[in-house]
Amino acid sequence: MAKLITDEQIAEQKSYIMKLKEENMRYAAENGHTRLALTKTYGCQQNENDTERIRGMLEEAGFDFTEDDNKADVVIYNTCAVRENAEQKVFGRLGILKHIKESRPEMIIGVCGCMVQQEHITEKIKRVHEHVDLVFGTHALYKMPKLLFEAMHSKGTVIDIEDSDGMIAEDIPMKRDDVSKAWVSVMYGCNNFCSYCIVPYVRGRERSRTPEAVLNEVKELVSKGCSEISLLGQNVNSYGKDLDMDIDFADLIRMVNDVEGVKRIRFMTSHPKDLSDKLIDAIAECDNVCKQLHLPFQAGSDKILKEMNRKYTKADYLEKIEKVKKAIPNISLSTDVIVGFPTETNEDFEETLDVLRKVEFDNIFSFIYSRREGTPAAKLDFVLTDEEIHHNFDRLLEVQNEISKRKNDEYVGRIERVLVDGVSKNDENTLSGRCDSSKIVNFKGDKSLIGKYINVKITQAHTWSLNGEIV
Ligand code: SAH
Ligand code: SF4
Ligand code: F3S
């Protein structure tokens, strides 16, 4: 069972939150304005959820928030290590901040999360980005108040990237911007060690929160007006394996389904090898669980799947999908695909296209393989050239775009329940929301509908979204 960070350790952090708050109040009284913090998140929902914790702690410590680099007193980047371009973006931003800090030396720059949990990255930051004041990894998140306080009172870079061997910190304040929907982490870490992936190295071993902790969080969210809950974990199907009780993820979603006031439950991510019949039944039977499943297959060739250490074959995967479709006929399916794993040939890639054509996913998230230092796949030589890999990637999108459009066309004429998220980016008279299967729906309507469920008749389908009219 995962060890909890002790009450004393949490209390220590609370005392630093109070120290920061006193200083911030003094600063506001002297300067006529509150100190401002800026946070930016790279990476997955897990990281977004962690940033909500960071913002919660900053808010309690008396910071206000800004999105303007030039006004921020504290900048914290919560980083991702899953692909190289995520890391390059952060290094690019740090270069820009260096110039800003030259004119405002009192500014505090912090980098946290998955990327800096890798020692070679933290070494590079120390070497090349001396203007960074604070570096903390995924395991040190709960210690941010103390580390920030130290960074504000010392000259050198404060660094904490120690591995905690799987601890869980409860009772960290959170600042969520969206009232109607929320992410709730049910477990942390990953034990799968897919050969291309850095996540198990930067997030540590799998550890589950207790059902009580999850349910208490859900109930509190509902009491504040939230009705859509997305349960998060790198591999939610392993939920509960490390707990001293007889519970698995299927049991957990049934418990969340029974919480009064919850209208929609989503979850991610499921690993195909652990997708149980019990979970399929739970999705089918629970009224509030959205009929939607994200099931990454990564590659279609059995040879590549083996080298990826995915522990299933193409046939196993297709069989699971058939089971799901049979049990839940209206299920909306999505997946992750990697193109250009080092040993992948054009013939292997054809197998990936074959899976797309057979399953007909509603949408896919596709990535070109990115070499991650320290992973087993990093030692492999490439069979295909960059050009061939990009060509395959384009073909993948071509095949899938046609399928996605066709799947969306099926929605035309239907009436869908949509939770209104906000106004569309392109037009302020157009609202945007998601239907139960998570497709984006755009329609004309008044801003006062944001946060509400409404019925929308779908009138037009695009590849990536639907248009409709309120009924
Ligand atoms: N735990 C989830 C998600 C992990 S990261 C899962 O197992 O599905 C999200 C996606 O990033 C993965 O599904 C994979 O498709 C992709 N990914 C991970 N490592 C990668 C790498 N080195 N290069 C390219 N894509 C990668
Ligand atoms: Fe990475 Fe595989 Fe774990 Fe997903 S299951 S986080 S791809 S190692
Ligand atoms: Fe990236 Fe870390 Fe998520 S590496 S994908 S932010 S777990």
Q: Does ligand 3 have an atom closer than 6 angstroms to the CB of 82?
A: yes
Shortest-distance ligand to the CA of residue 112: 3
CATH number, residue 345: 3.80.30.20
Ligand nearest to the CA of 85: 1
List the one residue out of 457, 437, 461 whose CA is nearest residue 445: 457
Residues 241 and 362 in one domain: yes
What are the tens digits of pLDDT across the range 396-455? Answer: 999 999 999 999 999 999 999 999 999 988 788 899 999 999 999 999 999 999 999 999
pLDDT score of 24: 97
**Percent of the chain scoring above 90 in pLDDT:** 96
Question: What is the 8-class DSSP label of residue 143?
Answer: G
Q: Whose CA is nearest to atom 13 of ligand 1?
A: 336
Q: 427 C-alpha vs ligand 2 centroid, how far in Å?
A: 38
Same domain, 275 and 320: yes
129 CA to centre of ligand 3 in angstroms = 22
Q: Count other Cβ atoms within 10 Å, centred on residue 444.
A: 13
Domain limit, last residue, from 357, 381, 409: 409
Q: Find the ligand nearest to 81 CA.
A: 3
- Looking at 167, 182, 209, the residue that finishes a domain is 167
Q: Tens of pLDDT along 336-349?
A: 999 999 999 999 99
DSSP of 230-251, one letter per residue?
A: EEE-TTGGGTTTTSSSS--HHH
**CA–CA gap between residue 186 and residue 231 (Å, rounded):** 6
Q: What is the mean pLDDT of residues 201-215?
A: 96
Name beta bridge partners: 79: 113
Q: Which residues pair with 64 in a beta bridge?
A: 36
Is there an atom of ligand 2 within 6 Å of 202 CB?
no
Say yes or no to pLDDT of 306 above 70: yes
Domain count, the chain: 3
Tell me which of 367, 375, 382, 392 to substitute to probe ligand 1's pocket, judged by most ligand atoms within 8 Å of the beta carbon.
Answer: 367
Query: Is the CB–ligand 2 distance for residue 234 below 6 Å?
Result: yes
pLDDT digits (tens, 9 = 90+) for 226-279: 999 999 999 999 999 999 999 999 999 999 999 999 999 999 999 999 999 999
Q: Which atom of ligand 2 is nearest to the CA of 336?
A: 7
Tell me how long the chain is.
471
Q: Which ligand is nearest to the CA of 203?
A: 3
Distances (CA, A) of 360 to 230, 261, 325: 24, 33, 11
202 within ligand 3 shell (Cβ under 6 A): yes
Question: From the CB of 305, is ligand 3 less than 6 Å away?
Answer: no
Q: Hey, what are 174's tokens? A: 């959170």
CATH at 466: 2.40.50
Question: Residue 182 Cα, ligand 2 centroid: separation in angstroms?
Answer: 23
Domain shared by 141 and 258, yes or no: no
d(CA 207, CA 238): 9
pLDDT per residue as tens digits for the range 74-96: 999 999 999 999 999 999 999 99
pLDDT higher than 70, residue 1 = no
Task: Please list the residues that pair with 336 across neighbouring strands.
Answer: 365
Per-residue tokens: 235: 């591999």
Report residue 321 as tokens: 């999908």
Judgement on whether residues 304 and 390 belong to the same structural domain of the protein: yes
Please tell me the predicted confidence (pLDDT) of residue 427.
Answer: 82
- Phi (first) and psi of residue 284, to 5 degrees: -65, -40
Query: Does residue 308's CB lie within 6 angstroms of at least one atom of ligand 1?
Result: no
Q: CB within 8 A of 62, min separation 6: which ones?
A: 20, 21, 24, 25, 28, 34, 35
Does residue 192 have its Cβ closer than 6 Å to ligand 2? Answer: yes
410 CB-near residues (< 8 Å, 6+ apart) = none
Ligand 3 proximity of 46 Cβ (cutoff 6 Å) = yes
- Give the number of the ligand closest to the Cα of residue 310: 2
For residue 13, the CA-to-ligand 3 centroid distance in Å is 25
Q: Supply the pLDDT for residue 239.
A: 96
pLDDT digits (tens, 9 = 90+) for 17-42: 999 999 999 999 999 999 999 999 99
Residues 15 and 125 in one domain: yes
Same domain, yes or no: 403 and 460: no
pLDDT for res 171: 86
Work out the pLDDT band at 465, boundaries 50, 70, 90. Answer: very high
CA dist., res. 210 & res. 401, Å (int): 40
Q: Does ligand 1 come within 6 angstroms of the Cβ of 367?
A: yes
The whole-angstrom separation of Cα 408 and Cα 465 is 8
**If we measure between CA atoms, which residue out of 90, 99, 144, 98 comes closest to residue 118?**
90
Residue 349's closest CA among 383, 315, 312? Answer: 383
Is residue 141 lining ligand 3, measured as CB closer than 6 Å? Answer: no
Helices (H) and strands (E) in the chain, counts: 13, 21
Checking phi first, is residue 187 left (phi over 0); if not, alpha (psi -120 to 50) or beta? beta
pLDDT over 70 at 49, yes or no: yes
Which of 49, 338, 368 maximizes ligand 1 atoms within 8 Å of its Cβ, making it the mutation to test the pocket? 338
If asked whether residues 86 and 180 sit together in one domain, one would say no
Centre of ligand 2 to C-alpha 102, Å, is: 40
Same domain for 245 and 152, yes or no, is no
Q: For atom 5 of ligand 2, which residue has the closest CA?
A: 192
Domain with residue 49: its CATH number is 3.40.50.12160
Does pLDDT of 355 surpass 90? yes
Q: Does residue 59 share a domain with residue 205?
A: no
| pLDDT band at residue 4 under the 50/70/90 scheme | confident
User: Which residue lies with its CA nearest to atom 1 of ligand 3?
Assistant: 80
Beta bridge partners of 338: 367
Domain final position from 363, 379, 409:
409
* Ligand 3 pocket, residue 78 CB under 6 Å: no
Whether the predicted model's global pTM rises above the 0.85 cut: yes
Structure-token match 């998220």, residue found:
421
Q: Ligand 2, from 82, 194, 274, 275: best to mutate by most atoms within 8 Å of Cβ?
A: 194
Query: Are residues 252 and 200 located together in one domain of the fold?
Result: yes
Could you give the count of Cα atoms lying within 13 Å of 68 in the half-sphere of its Cβ?
5
Q: What is the pLDDT of residue 428?
A: 82
Amino acid sitting at position 356: L
CB of residue 193 inside a 6 A radius of ligand 2: yes
- Are residue 370 and residue 441 in the same domain, yes or no? no
Q: Does 280 share its domain with 341?
A: yes
Phi, then psi, of 390 in degrees rounded to 5: -65, -35
8 Å CB contact between 269 and 322: no
Q: What DSSP string describes 351-412?
A: HHHHHHHHH--SEEEEEE----TTSGGGGPPPSS-HHHHHHHHHHHHHHHHHHHHHHHHTTT
Q: Which domain holds residue 436?
A: 415-470
CA–centroid distance, 83 to ligand 1, in Å, is 8
